[in-house]
Structures are given as structure tokens and as C-alpha cells.
Chains A and B, each alone.
Chain A
Amino acid sequence: MFLKRQMPAIIAIGVGLFILFGHFINNPNVQGFVNNDATQWFDIIASFAIFLGALNMLKLQVLKVVKKQRNWQYSILAIFGFAFAIFAGFFFRGANYITLTDIHPQNVNKLVEYISTVQEVDDPVLMVKGIQGSLASYEIPKIFISRSSAEAFSVTISGIAKDVTLGVKPWGAHVQIKGSLFSWMFFKIFTPLSSTMFALLAFFVASASYRAFRIRNFEATLLLVAGIILMIGRVPVGELVPWWLVSTLMVFGIGALIAPLIPDKKLLFGIIIGGIVLTSGLGILLDWNLAVNMPAILSLPNISEWIFDYPTAAGSRAIMIGIALGIIATSFRIILGIERPF
């Protein structure tokens, strides 16, 4: 019981208080602990958390298959994906490379031709320059997943240089090297799947906006207008919106705001039409078609930037301050042992 309840609380309270007060104690050992050791502890725990998370995911998926829960077939795919990633990461490097030593200068162009048969060469001239600069030892910019394919290619290019050697990228590094099995999995499976999932959002956002973005009250209207200005103002097409359209929409907006104060609809209509004629006339007189003459307020990109810089920044600050106060309160509750999420 002590190990399960009191011990975690003592560790959390002790370490929490020590790190908190450590910031106010000007002692190199304490500062060293707070700035270095504690962060390394955190890193080690975070690494274990990844390990535990992966195991937990595996356990859940296996249980789903064993118990044949709803949609268990997808779990087989998840387990297979997990096993494949583990295989490509820990058991099979699939990152063979070829190094040429003492390349004959007259064979450089031929080598580029050979390389282009196994690897897309964006700029052959640049590659020729690169090889000419490393004639003594040049690593072919192609990683072979299987050793047999690397050997077959090395036989093809055997006459190009004095010596052709095969190597395998070191463990750990193999995961990141473009062309390895792990990298192939990332770029050919994970990347398209992940991009597809994210891209689908555009369609759902469009459909949801069409159905749910309604002018129901003042707040909804404000949100809608700001949303539309940002959507158009943040993309290049916003630059093409003419000043007269923006000024007309502004007059309509003002009309909508003052409408409840003016019961006479004819008068309201007159004010709106008068406003449109006035702004349009001013624009023609002052030549607002020229970008330098146009008031900044009539440019949608400027309005969208203003929305970002002022109302958005103010709202975000308020949220951030609220979150910060919440974090302080929660931290104190944990440090004092009132709350025990562990």
C-alpha cells in the first residue's frame, strides 16, 4: 500500500518542490540538477513512455483480434504494420551502398548513365561535377534494399573504377537514409496514408461549412464575416477583390448594424444607397484604383492581417493567460498532493 499510494506522492511532492525552488537557489549543483539532470530524467521517462505506449497499442490490437471484437479485421493490419516497422527498424537494415575508388576521369559520364538506370537523376551536370570532385572515393547516391541488387549493380559498373566496394549503413542511421527499407515504408506507405487522411479534411470542412455556418445571431454573423475575410484575404485571390466591392460590403455591414435603430425602412434603404454612392464617388474622384491611393482598410489582405494582429492576438492572449493560471493551480495541487494523477 505504501509503495502504491504514499511513495509516488512523496516522489512527486519532493521532486516538484525541489525543481520549483531550484529556480530561486543560486547554487551550481542545484541549477545543474534543475537544468540538466531533471530534463534528462524526463527524456529517459519519455523514451520508456514511447515503449510502453507501443506495447499497450499492440496488446489492445491483439486482444481485439483474439476476442473478435467489432472491426477486428483492421487490427490485423495494425499488428502487421507494427511488426513490419519493428522488422525494418531492428532486424533488417536494407541499406546497402556502393563506394567506388579511383574512378577513371573518362568514365564519369558513363557512370552517371549507369546511375540514372537505378536512380532518378535530377541534374546530370551537377552529378558529373560532384563525381569529378570525388574521383578518389565516391559513394553512389543510391541505397539498395537487398544485398543481391547491390551486388548486381556493382558487377555492372565494375570497369568504371579501380575498386568497387559494398557496404551497409550502420544500425540506427539506416532508419533515416533515403532508400532503406524503413525509409521506403515511411515515404511509400505512411506518407501517402497520412496525407490522404489530412486531405480529406478539406472536403468535410467544405460540407460542414455549407450546412452549419449560418447567420443565426450577431455572434454567428461576426464569426462568419471574419471567417470569410480570412479565407479570402489570406490567399492571393484576396488581392484581386476590388476596393468598390469591399466598400459596398462595408456599407451593407454598417446598414445591418444600424437597422434596429431606424424603423423607417425607406430611410434605411436611402442611407445604404447614399453610402454606396458616396464611397464609390470618393473612390473614383481620389483614384483608388491605384494601389498607392487606396485606403488600406479597403484591401482584404490588410483587413485579414488586422484581424490576426489585434482581435485574434487579444483573444489568444486571454486564453493563454487562462491556461497558464490553470497550469499553476494544477501544478500546486499535484505538488501539495491534493491531486494524484499518478
Chain B
Amino acid sequence: MDLLKKIFIALGSMDRRFIFLLVGLSVLLPKLYPDLFTLPIKASSHSQRVFDEIDALKEDSKVLVSFEYGPSTKPEIHPSAIALLNHLFSKNIKVYAVALWPDGNFMATEAFSQVADGYGKKYGVDYVNLGYKPGGEAVVKGLASDIRTMYTVDLLGNDIDSIEMMKDVKNLLDLDFIFSLSAGYPGSKEWVQFACDPLGIPMSTGCTSIQVTDIIPYVENDQIKGILSGMPGAAEYEQLVQDALNERGIVVSPGKASINMAAQSMAHVVIVLLIILGNITYYLTRKSGKKGGM
């Protein structure tokens, strides 16, 4: 028993570089050997809600997708963007992209370049990228009032009046749905507060895991129709979209979030085990400390 205690106490003073190694391996191994770490992905009610809302949109509906994330949060949100564009383009829905973050421009451009060609979608006819505007909530409020006061040209410098799909769009009221891909401020909250709630436009969001606590009250109030929470939410939505498209005869390969979920799962398990180990050591050292004190 004493030996066991000593082992736990010795583990408790584990060098942090060893912890880094464990976390590194827990991420690396599932990436190197994905077949050994295949895990089932089951959609949560929130992800299912997002899927149902988008799936209920009719052909030629107009959806605004706002890109509010950058490279640091790309692994969490970009898979949602790709799955969303797959879902929208497969239903022949027109996509209007804006960015409230400067990095969002690049994310949007990359997402469109990854998906649009596969569905034969043409820029300006099936999708448009209006680009980034500084101002956060003021931009959202401006778009709600009149898009042309905010944007006179698109990301490529084309006059927006010369873009076919912009012709019958004056403000956000002319759109059927808004999807915010958000990693912070300005993001989903600003869309709810300054556009979707006042104008009654349905919206959903895909955000980082850390943001979920901030956004969940809006989801519970039905001001946001479902939420894709971080990479797990993205993986669930990817799975739902993949299944739906396969049923419609469109072949879509598994998304990046689904592939990365095994790595995230293993990392979480390792961290939980470390926390439990740390607490056992804490309990033992506290107990022996008390005894020593007596």
C-alpha cells in the first residue's frame, strides 16, 4: 500500500514536459492511425436543429453567411463552413458572404474555392463574397438597414449593382436565413442583437466551444435556431450533411472535423486522467502532511 502511495506521489511531481509529451501523443496517434481510433459520431439536438433549419430552406432561398474567425480557430469552425456550403449548394441556395473579421475574408475565399466548383456554382450568380468591413455591430445594423450603405463593391472590386444576385437584395429583410460562423466579437451575439431578433430573420451559428456558454441563452430562447458547438458540433453537422447528400446521390468525403474528433477525444481523455491522477496525489500528500503535522 505504501509503495502504491509512493508511486502516486511520485507521479504527482511529474515533470510538465512529460505531460506535454502525453498530450502530444494523444493527438498525434489518432492522426497517424485513424483506423485504430474510429469513434461513433451522434448528433446532439442543437446540431440536428441547425441541420433541420437549413434543410427546410427552399431552392433559390437566399442565405447570408458571416465569416468571423481566423486561422487560430479555423480547425474548429472551418469544417462547419465547408459542411454548410455543401449543404446550401446541394440545395441550390444562393449564398451571400460577409466578414466582420479581416481574417474572415480569407476563410470565406478558401471555403468557396473548396466547395463551389464541385457543384458547378458560379460567382455572382450562385454566390457572392462582399468581404470585410470594420465596425462590428455598426456593420450589422447597417446591413439590416441598407446593404448598399455598407458595401458598394464586392471583395473583388465589382460594383455590387452589376452582380446579378444582388439585384433584388436591398437589406437583410430580403434574405431568408443568416448563418454566423463566429469565434468571438463581433460575431453571433451582434447578429442576434442588431439584425436577426429586431427583424425576425432566422439564424443559426457555428462557434468555438469556448463561446457556447455566451450563446446558449439565445439558443434556449429560440433567437438562434441551433448551434454547432466547436469541433464536435462541426463533426456532427458534417455527418448529418454527408448522410443527407449520400441519400440524394451526391458523394461527399468525410470532413476534417469528423477526422479530428478522435484526436480531440483522446486529448480530453488524457487531460481527465491527469486531473484524476493529480487529485489522488493531492489527497495522499494532504493526508500524509496532516499525519506529519500531528
* Chain A partners chain B: yes
Q: List the interface of chain A (C-beta within 8 A of B).
A: 35-36, 39-40, 42-43, 46-47, 49-50, 123, 126, 130, 169-173, 175-178, 183, 186-187, 190-192, 194-195, 197-198, 202-203, 205-207, 209-211, 213-215, 224, 227-228, 231-232, 234-237, 239-240, 301, 305, 308-309, 312-313, 315-317, 320
Indicate whether B217 reaches chain A with its CB closer than 8 angstroms. Answer: yes
Q: Are B20 and A207 in contact (CB under 8 A)?
A: yes
Chain A: minimal CB distance from B147 (Å):
11
Q: A187-B106, A236-B41, A312-B216 are in contact. Are A176 and B274 (CB under 8 A)?
A: no
Identity of the chain A residue whose Cβ is nearest the Cβ of B282 in the assembled complex: A214
Chain A: minimal CB distance from B72 (Å):
4
Partner of B135, one of A46, A172, A202, A209: A46
Identity of the chain B residue whose Cβ is nearest the Cβ of A317 in the assembled complex: B217
Indicate whether B118 reaches chain A with its CB closer than 8 angstroms. Answer: yes
Chain A neighbourhood of B117, CB < 8 A: 126, 130
Bound CA span A309–B45, Å: 11
Q: Are B282 and A215 in contact (CB under 8 A)?
A: yes
Q: List the interface of chain B (C-beta within 8 A of A).
A: 14, 16, 19-20, 22-24, 27, 39-42, 44-46, 70-75, 103, 105-106, 109-110, 113, 117-118, 131, 133-136, 138-139, 141-142, 144-146, 149-150, 153, 155-157, 209, 212-214, 216-217, 219-220, 229-230, 232, 235, 261-262, 264-272, 274-275, 277-279, 282-283
Q: A39-B141, A43-B138 are in contact. Are A320 and B217 (CB under 8 A)?
A: yes
Q: Are A231 and B278 in contact (CB under 8 A)?
A: no
Q: Are B265 and A237 in contact (CB under 8 A)?
A: yes
Bound CA span A305–B229, Å: 11
Can you list 25 residue pairs at the A/B interface with Cβ under 8 Å?
A42-B138, A43-B139, A171-B157, A176-B105, A178-B113, A192-B71, A194-B72, A195-B72, A195-B74, A202-B23, A202-B267, A206-B23, A207-B16, A209-B278, A210-B277, A210-B278, A211-B278, A213-B279, A214-B278, A234-B268, A235-B39, A235-B268, A236-B262, A301-B42, A312-B216
The 7 A-B residue pairs with the shortest CB-CB distance, nearest first, are A236-B39, A198-B72, A42-B138, A237-B265, A191-B71, A235-B265, A194-B71
Partner of B275, one of A43, A187, A224: A224
Chain B neighbourhood of A39, CB < 8 A: 135, 138-139, 141-142, 145, 149
Bound CA span A11–B85, Å: 45
Chain A neighbourhood of B106, CB < 8 A: 176, 183, 186-187
Chain B: minimal CB distance from A332 (Å):
19
Q: Are B138 and A46 in contact (CB under 8 A)?
A: yes
Q: Are B277 and A203 in contact (CB under 8 A)?
A: no
Q: Are B40 and A239 in contact (CB under 8 A)?
A: yes
Chain B neighbourhood of A315, CB < 8 A: 213
Bound CA span A309–B226, Å: 12
Chain B neighbourhood of A228, CB < 8 A: 272, 275
Bound CA span A224–B139, Å: 40
Chain B: minimal CB distance from A207 (Å):
5
Q: Are A206 and B19 in contact (CB under 8 A)?
A: yes
Q: Are A36 and B44 in contact (CB under 8 A)?
A: no
Q: Count of A-B contacts with CB under 8 A? A: 183
Q: Are B146 and A213 in contact (CB under 8 A)?
A: no
Chain B neighbourhood of A172, CB < 8 A: 153, 157
Bound CA span A176–B232, Å: 30
Bound CA span A213–B273, Å: 12
Chain B: minimal CB distance from A91 (Å):
18
Identity of the chain A residue whose Cβ is nearest the Cβ of B153 in the assembled complex: A172
Q: Are B271 and A206 in contact (CB under 8 A)?
A: yes
Q: Are B275 and A173 in contact (CB under 8 A)?
A: no
Chain A neighbourhood of B72, CB < 8 A: 194-195, 197-198
Bound CA span A134–B86, Å: 24
Q: Are A46 and B134 in contact (CB under 8 A)?
A: yes
Identity of the chain A residue whose Cβ is nearest the Cβ of B117 in the assembled complex: A126
Q: A43-B139, A203-B23, A236-B40 are in contact. Are A210 and B275 (CB under 8 A)?
A: yes
Bound CA span A195–B145, Å: 36
Bound CA span A179–B117, Å: 18
Q: Are B20 and A203 in contact (CB under 8 A)?
A: yes
Q: Are B141 and A236 in contact (CB under 8 A)?
A: no
Bound CA span A231–B230, Å: 12
Bound CA span A320–B189, Å: 11
Q: A39-B142, A206-B270, A237-B269 are in contact. Are A198 and B27 (CB under 8 A)?
A: no
Chain B: minimal CB distance from A69 (Å):
28
Q: Are A36 and B274 in contact (CB under 8 A)?
A: no
Q: Are B232 and A234 in contact (CB under 8 A)?
A: yes
Q: Are A309 and B216 in contact (CB under 8 A)?
A: yes
Given A236-B42, A320-B214: 8 more A-B contacts, CB < 8 Å = A176-B109, A178-B110, A203-B24, A206-B19, A215-B283, A236-B39, A308-B212, A312-B212
Bound CA span A44–B12, Å: 56
Q: Are B157 and A173 in contact (CB under 8 A)?
A: yes
Chain A neighbourhood of B71, CB < 8 A: 190-192, 194-195
Chain B neighbourhood of A317, CB < 8 A: 217
Bound CA span A209–B46, Å: 28
Bound CA span A308–B218, Å: 12
Chain B: minimal CB distance from A60 (Å):
21
Q: Are A43 and B232 in contact (CB under 8 A)?
A: no
Chain B: minimal CB distance from A340 (Å):
22
Q: Are B27 and A213 in contact (CB under 8 A)?
A: no
Partner of A202, one of B27, B42, B279: B27
Bound CA span A170–B261, Å: 41
Chain A neighbourhood of B27, CB < 8 A: 202
